[in-house]
Amino acid sequence: MTPDMILIRIQPTPNPNALKFVVNKPVKATGKATFTRPSEAMGLRLAEDLFLIEGVRQLHFFENVVTVTYADDADVDTLQLEVQAVLQTRMPTHNPDFLVEEEKKKIDRSNLPPDLQTIETILDETVRMYLQGDGGDIEIVKYENHRLDVRYQGACGTCPSSIGATLDAIQGILQEKFDPEIQVVPV
């Protein structure tokens, strides 16, 4: 095996319409990036080319993983082959140090109100590692009057369990560790 050889493992996710492509090179050096439409991927050749594959609906880059969410009627076998081909050809020139707009204007958590800092810490310690392991994540949109609005990212955004068991688990953890009256609502 040469040092430049791109190795790819395909793994399922809990979302029946998403696959994780685990690569032996970094895809995103720091943070994460979710692209829900081709226009968000402009200037990032790897993402642009992945969106050219028929059936691709969303991309999520995290560490050495590309999670591809695809349409219900996609030919999954063909999609897998085409994603692997793009990764093989684009990874050698891909820069994993890219930043997306949300990262460029990201707020330091130390500037957040104490209640949001606490919620973020609880999510970091209990939930995020599992969501990220499944090709997704969760973002806090707003917290007010015991209501926490969240946005799922990556494969979690279209996963059936994100509005059922996963949501119930997140709410239960936050009720136990933070506020017994908190309601978690996906937006």
Residues 78, 120, single domain; the answer is: no
Give the domain-ending residue among 58, 86, 103. 103
Residue 108 has pLDDT above 80, yes or no: no
Strands 136-144 and 147-154: antiparallel
Residue with tokens 């793994």: 11
How far is the CA of 131 from the CAs of 28, 136, 170, in angstroms?
A: 16, 5, 11
Tell me the angle at which helices 114-126 and 165-177 cross, rounded to the nearest 10 degrees. 130
Cβ proximity of 32 and 60 under 8 Å: yes
Give the mean pLDDT of the chain.
Answer: 89
Residues 99, 114, single domain; the answer is: no
Give the domain-ending residue among 73, 103, 133. 103
Residues 120, 95, single domain; the answer is: no
Q: What is the pLDDT of residue 101?
A: 67
- pLDDT tens for 14-53 read 899 999 999 999 999 988 888 989 999 989 999 999 999 9
Residue 106 has pLDDT above 60, yes or no: no
Q: What is the pLDDT of residue 3?
A: 59
Residue 2 lies in a domain: no
Name the pLDDT band for 155 (thresholds 50, 70, 90).
confident
Residue 1 lies in a domain: no
Residue 1 has pLDDT above 60, yes or no: no
Residues 39, 99, single domain; the answer is: yes
Residue 117 lies in a domain: yes
Give the domain-ending residue among 103, 136, 165. 103
Residues 40, 99, single domain; the answer is: yes
Name the pLDDT band for 110 (thresholds 50, 70, 90).
confident
> 14 lies in which domain range?
8-103
How many domains does the structure of the chain reveal? 2
Residue 152: CATH number of its domain? 3.30.300.130
- pLDDT tens for 42-99 read 899 999 999 999 999 999 999 999 999 999 999 999 999 999 999 999 999 999 999 8
Residue 85: CATH number of its domain? 3.30.1370.70
Residue 65: CA atoms inside 13 Å, Cβ hemisphere, count? 25
Of residues 101 and 71, the one with the higher pLDDT is: 71
